[in-house]
Amino acid sequence: MTLLPLALGSRLSAALIVAAVFVPVPAHAAEPTLGELAAAKGRYFGSATDNPELSDAPYVATLGREFNAITPGNAMKWDATEPQRGQFSFAKGDEIVALAQKNGQKVRGHTLVWHSQLPSWVSNGGFPAAELRSILQNHVTTVASHYKGQVMHWDVVNEPFNDDGTFRDSVFYSTLGQSYIADALRAARAADPGAKLYINDYNTDGIGAKSDAMYNLVKSLKSQGVPIDGVGFQGHLALQYGLPSQVQQNLQRFADLGVDVAITELDIRMVLPADSAKLSTQAAWYSDVTKACLAVSRCVGITVWDYTDKYSWIPGVFPGQGAALPYDENLAPKPAYAALRTALGGGTTPPDPGLSCKVSYKVVSQWNTGFTGSVTVTNTGSAAINGWSLAFSFPGDQKVTQGWSAEWSQTGAAVAAKNASWNGTLAAGASTTIGFNATHSGINAVPTAFSLNGGNCSLG
């Protein structure tokens, strides 16, 4: 906060001037976040997240600030919640629900019945139909009951179709036929009547054989009185395959069946390396998908499948592809982020996290295979920083082997340094210097971008 004197007229007495009223005003008017912009349009804007990421303070800060809904990326799946028959484990899901509640975020439950991340005791159990049906009902009932009242939507059934629109030959379909879908939905409704129940799939975003199959399924479930409230369109898109056609019309035809629709796992990957042309096409697609959702009154929200390239599932599954999310690996917003803000009706300026910083990076000494680095962080803002995490990426193969004056960690090229107990508070104008030893080969190029608590720092 900055204290500014109110304009005072010259006719005021000297005594009054001495007693001039000061009103606190924010140093910068905070821009609304993606979540706030979506909320102003009656929607949510969410992100997936996963438990291992929750130890990354800058990541958690942006997750908590920018999004008003969370989907656990793995924590509520069958292999996490019932790894052995009848033995349920909710620790990971509970951790994410607790974080969401602390942040005032909604939770999309993901997912109760899916062919993947299904423990082998289910997929290879060879159960007769009656027993498998009871296993499925027990799983759905137990998990949905545990989270009763805490989950806004459940992806009750995930990915029931093949790309050609035939039913996927999962153990559930091959043993029970398509009746497993209605059974799962009924069990979920009975366990948590307040949660909206969804079926969720990928490659159903535009109009085509697979979305036609989903459409026919939902129509038939509705006509039989099976509880179904929504359809999730995952939105795993790729620049090299083109933007699916008729996304808005597709969402609308489902809405016209009397269900809600949501974009549940949006990411837009590209063949690496990213360049400005690809990032700008990606930004345009994020905008197009968002506008398609906003144009359909029953499209209730959008979720990105994690928000930063640092934690995307894509490079692990599609080698050579990635850069799919609105924030880069250093948690800096990309053109897609600005495009999302504009599509949601906001300005393009990122919200001011109330922080301003300067970083000076020095190679103190260097030898063939290693070097010692020092980083001075200065709080150039007007308020104290209480607890900080510095993030940057090495341009080469440098690896931190030892660090001091901060808790150092490194994943791939991305380095994080969290304050030590004694230098967590940086008063306005204060600096602290932290250091590390690292290995390297070839040119020991210096990092060029640094962020503190998710806000970019200047170099100096």
Task: Give the span between the Cα atoms of 21 and 289, in whole angstroms.
Answer: 49
How far lies 333's CA from each of 217, 346, 397, in Å?
39, 15, 24
Short-list 277, 286, 161, CA closest to 235 = 286
Helix (H, G, I), strand (E, B) or coil at 179: helix
Q: Around Cβ 244, how many Cβ atoms within 10 Å? A: 21
CA 325 to centroid of chain Cα atoms: 9
Q: Is the dihedral of CA 168, 250, 300, 303 positive or negative?
A: positive
Alpha-carbon span 94 to 99, nearest angstrom: 9
Supply the minimum distance, in Å, between the C-beta of residue 391 and ligand G3I. 21
> Going residue by residue from 148 to 167, which x/- string records binding to ligand G3I, judged by CB under 6 A?
----------x---------
Cα–Cα nearest to 233, from 296, 320, 182, 276: 296
- Residue 318 vs 371, nearer CB to ligand G3I: 318
Nearest to 360 by CA among 379, 375, 371: 375
Q: For residues 113 and 406, which CB has a smaller minimum distance to ligand G3I in the complex? A: 113
Q: How far is the CB of 55 from ligand G3I (least distance, A)?
A: 14
Q: Does residue 172 touch ligand G3I according to CB under 6 A?
A: no
Among residues 215 and 313, whose Cβ is nearest to ligand G3I? Answer: 313
How many amino acids of this chain bind ligand G3I (CB under 6 A)?
9
- What is the rounded CA–CA span in Å between residue 270 and residue 279? 9
Query: Which lies closer to ligand G3I via its Cβ, residue 117 or residue 382?
Result: 117
The 115-144 contact track toward ligand G3I, x by CB under 6 A, reads -xx---------------------------
Contact between 254 and ligand G3I by CB under 6 A: the answer reads: no
Under the criterion CB under 6 A, does residue 93 sit at the interface with ligand G3I? no
- x-marked contacts with ligand G3I along 101-120 as a string, rule CB under 6 A: ---------------xx---
Residues 224 to 243: which contact ligand G3I by CB under 6 A?
234
- Check residue 74 for interaction with ligand G3I (CB under 6 A): yes
Buried b (16+ CB within 10 A) or exposed e, 278-298: bbebbbbbbbbbbebbbebeb
Query: In angstroms, what is the minimal distance from the CB of 56 to ligand G3I?
Result: 14
Q: Are strands 357-366 and 385-386 parallel, antiparallel or unpaired?
A: unpaired
The 3-state DSSP class for residue 356 equals: coil
Minimal distance, residue 364 CB to ligand G3I, in Å = 36
73 contacts ligand G3I (rule: CB under 6 A): yes
Nearer to ligand G3I, 296 or 324 (CB): 324
Query: What is the b/e burial string over 142-160, where b = at least 16 CB atoms within 10 angstroms of the residue's CB?
Result: bbbebbeebbbbbbbbbbb
Shortest distance, CB of residue 439 to ligand G3I, whole angstroms?
A: 24
Site for ligand G3I in 266-325 (CB under 6 A): 313
Angle at which helices 129-146 and 179-191 cross, to 10°:
30
| Binder among 82, 183, 192, 265 for ligand G3I (CB under 6 A) | 265
By C-beta, is 78 or 215 nearer to ligand G3I? 78
Which positions are catalytic? 265
- Binding residues for ligand G3I, per CB under 6 A? 73-74, 116-117, 158, 202, 234, 265, 313
